[in-house]
């Protein structure tokens, strides 16, 4: 495995070195007793975020929305939904975050809007509407059905088209019928979305997470899927060359601003080489999500394959990897792996790999998915479990002023931030320690990467930068493993918080992650 090009000579850019923390605002902290988290609640917990040691926050959508897809169906890109507060509240939160050295990324949803958006209401009003071509309208097929065989992401049994009787045409929606796709081939759409970016960049936002941004370029012929893919949503494999010039112009909007504004794209493809293409020549996305590790499960071999694939795909094109284990769309990794011990060991690798790690609110507390009774199931993708409210205090209300919109995650009291703060054995203090270790090590932040020989169920790799070296060992086995480490090493961090500062004797405990440094 050739070391990555991420060595100390690489130009220092904040988005290459900082750890980003995703906040799902409706579940973070409520302050106006409506049971839904809000911007003021994030402000009340800004110390938790600064003390954790992350460097940037990514807020899932806070815009006006009917909430059919919980904010990813935007009805006004340039206003805050009253559920979360208002623009003045956002400006206050942005100021508080910047005062604590935290950058703020907003979740930009370029591919589609809500059916309630003024743009779509105008577009659907008539075939001669000046905004008709802002969305993807087509005549029915010869049999009167949808124009092609594309299916919708949340319901592959349904077409990605909805018929509009008033104008006798279908409109495209790769997600819900309530989320019509914008037509990015129309320069007016591109210009309007660039203005959305400028609206928030002018307010001081440090950048964006761009929702399914790989979908914005489309072949105007909208050809049928081949039979073998006819029942699959395009989200997982839509890889359209027409997207790249659009991304270069989006990047141009950000580059026109001072302060190193950055954009991370959600590219839901499964091929890391394809994802790396969205880096362009360094003139498209700064970063792109890669879900290879999130999809790898608790298995050393699959982790090794995923990491190798990403590093080998990104290094030749100068792309900078990202790593993520949980987000608002997938079951939390404590639930997926089956234990907090495994999740803590995984965090050691997550925060030591070459690239930018993304944390999902609550993973620093070791939260697992909440059990959601049928009558509280409200999400079109069934993703409520990972979106349960964050418990801040031990007491039964866990620091929330009213009953939250979803049930609490398991052990909410014992896993609350209050219960864990200051307990050196807690998951919260482990994350704070791992972030401290990362901040103290040029090797972990920006160094080279190389695999190290180890037993098959131990993930072992080296990081190096000039005179700073670290070795990372993660034992995926349910019993201890020995790893020969020539030279003298000491334990910088252990997911079990055992033996830290002591000499490493060669044994890695069951389901333990270690960061080692040469003995001082
Ligand atoms: O997700 C895109 C996406 O691929 C997910 O919908 C995923 O397929 C699904 O959640 C599988 O569990 C982005 C946002 O992260 C998601 O929350 C939105 O629902 C979606 O786009 C539409 O905007």
pLDDT of amino acid 109 = 98
Residue 8 has pLDDT above 70, yes or no: no
The per-residue pLDDT for range 129-180, each reduced to its tens digit, is 999 999 999 999 999 999 999 999 999 899 999 999 999 999 999 999 999 9
Closest to 149 in 3D by CA, of 216, 215, 242, 226: 226
The per-residue pLDDT for range 453-481, each reduced to its tens digit, is 999 999 999 999 999 999 999 999 999 99
pTM check: above 0.75: yes
Residue 3 has pLDDT above 70, yes or no: no
Nearest-angstrom CA–CA distance, 228 and 219: 20
Residue 405 has pLDDT above 70, yes or no: yes
153 lines ligand 1 (CB under 6 A): yes
Question: b/e for 190-223, b at 16 or more Cβ within 10 A?
Answer: beebbebbeebbeebbbbbbbbbbbbbbbeeeee
30 lines ligand 1 (CB under 6 A): no
The per-residue pLDDT for range 290-337, each reduced to its tens digit, is 999 999 999 999 999 999 999 999 999 999 999 999 999 999 999 999
Nearest-angstrom CA–CA distance, 261 and 243: 20
Helix (H) or strand (E) segment spanning residue 494? strand 489-494
Residue among 381, 382, 383 whose CB has most ligand 1 atoms within 8 A, to mutate: 381
pLDDT of amino acid 11 = 57
Query: Do 24 and 387 form a contact (C-beta atoms < 8 A)?
Result: yes
Residue among 179, 209, 212, 268 whose CB has most ligand 1 atoms within 8 A, to mutate: 212
The per-residue pLDDT for range 166-221, each reduced to its tens digit, is 999 999 999 999 999 999 999 999 999 999 999 999 999 999 999 999 999 999 99
Question: pLDDT grade, residue 230 (50/70/90)?
Answer: confident
Residue 516 has pLDDT above 90, yes or no: yes
For the question of residue 47 being annotated catalytic, the response is no
Residue 256 has pLDDT above 80, yes or no: yes
């Amino acid at each position: 495995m050739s070391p990555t090009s991420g060595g100390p000579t690489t130009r220092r850019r904040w988005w290459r070195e900082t750890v980003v923390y995703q906040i799902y605002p409706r579940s973070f902290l409520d302050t106006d007793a409506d049971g839904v988290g809000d911007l003021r609640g994030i402000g009340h917990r800004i110390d938790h975020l600064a003390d954790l040691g992350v460097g940037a926050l990514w807020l899932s959508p806070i815009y006006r929305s009917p909430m059919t897809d919980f904010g990813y169906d935007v009805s006004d890109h340039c206003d805050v939904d009253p559920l979360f507060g208002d623009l003045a509240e956002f400006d206050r939160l942005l100021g508080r975050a910047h005062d604590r050295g935290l950058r703020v990324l907003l979740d930009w949803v370029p591919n589609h809007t809500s059916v309630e958006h003024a743009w779509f209401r105008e577009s659907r009003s008539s075939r001669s509407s000046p905004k008709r071509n802002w969305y993807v309208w087509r005549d029915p097929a010869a049999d009167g059905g949808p124009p092609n065989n594309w299916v919708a992401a949340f319901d592959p049994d349904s077409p990605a088209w909805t018929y509009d009787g008033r104008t006798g045409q279908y409109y495209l929606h790769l997600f819900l019928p309530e989320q019509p796709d914008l037509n990015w081939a129309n320069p007016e759409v591109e210009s309007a979305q660039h203005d959305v970016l400028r609206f928030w960049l002018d307010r001081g936002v440090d950048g964006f997470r761009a929702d399914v941004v790989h979908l914005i370029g489309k072949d105007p012929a909208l050809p049928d899927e081949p039979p073998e893919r006819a029942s699959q949503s395009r989200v997982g494999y839509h890889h359209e060359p027409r997207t790249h010039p659009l991304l270069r112009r989006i990047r141009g909007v950000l580059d026109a601003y001072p302060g190193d504004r950055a954009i991370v794209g959600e590219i839901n493809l499964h091929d890391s080489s394809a994802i790396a293409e969205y880096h362009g020549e360094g003139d498209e996305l700064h970063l792109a999500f890669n879900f290879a590790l999130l999809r790898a499960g608790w298995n050393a071999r699959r982790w090794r394959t995923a990491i190798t694939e990403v590093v080998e795909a990104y290094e030749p094109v100068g792309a900078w990897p990202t790593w993520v284990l949980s987000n608002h769309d997938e079951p939390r990794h404590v639930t997926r792996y089956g234990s907090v011990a495994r999740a803590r060991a995984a965090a050691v690798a997550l925060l030591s790999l070459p690239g930018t790690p993304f944390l999902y609110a609550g993973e620093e507390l070791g939260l697992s998915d909440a059990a959601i009774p049928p009558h509280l199931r409200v999400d079109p993708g069934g993703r409520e479990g990972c979106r349960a409210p964050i418990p801040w205090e031990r007491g039964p209300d866990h620091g929330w002023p009213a009953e939250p919109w979803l049930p609490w995650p398991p052990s909410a009291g014992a896993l609350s931030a209050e219960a864990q703060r200051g307990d050196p054995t807690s998951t919260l203090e482990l994350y704070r320690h791992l972030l401290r270790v990362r901040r103290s090590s040029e090797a972990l932040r920006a160094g080279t990467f190389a695999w190290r020989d180890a037993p098959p169920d131990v993930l072992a790799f080296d990081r190096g930068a000039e005179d700073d070296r670290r070795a990372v060992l993660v034992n995926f086995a349910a019993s201890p493993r020995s790893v020969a480490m020539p030279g003298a090493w000491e334990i910088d961090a252990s997911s079990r918080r055992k033996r830290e500062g002591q000499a490493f004797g060669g044994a890695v405990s069951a389901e333990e992650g270690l960061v080692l440094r040469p003995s001082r």
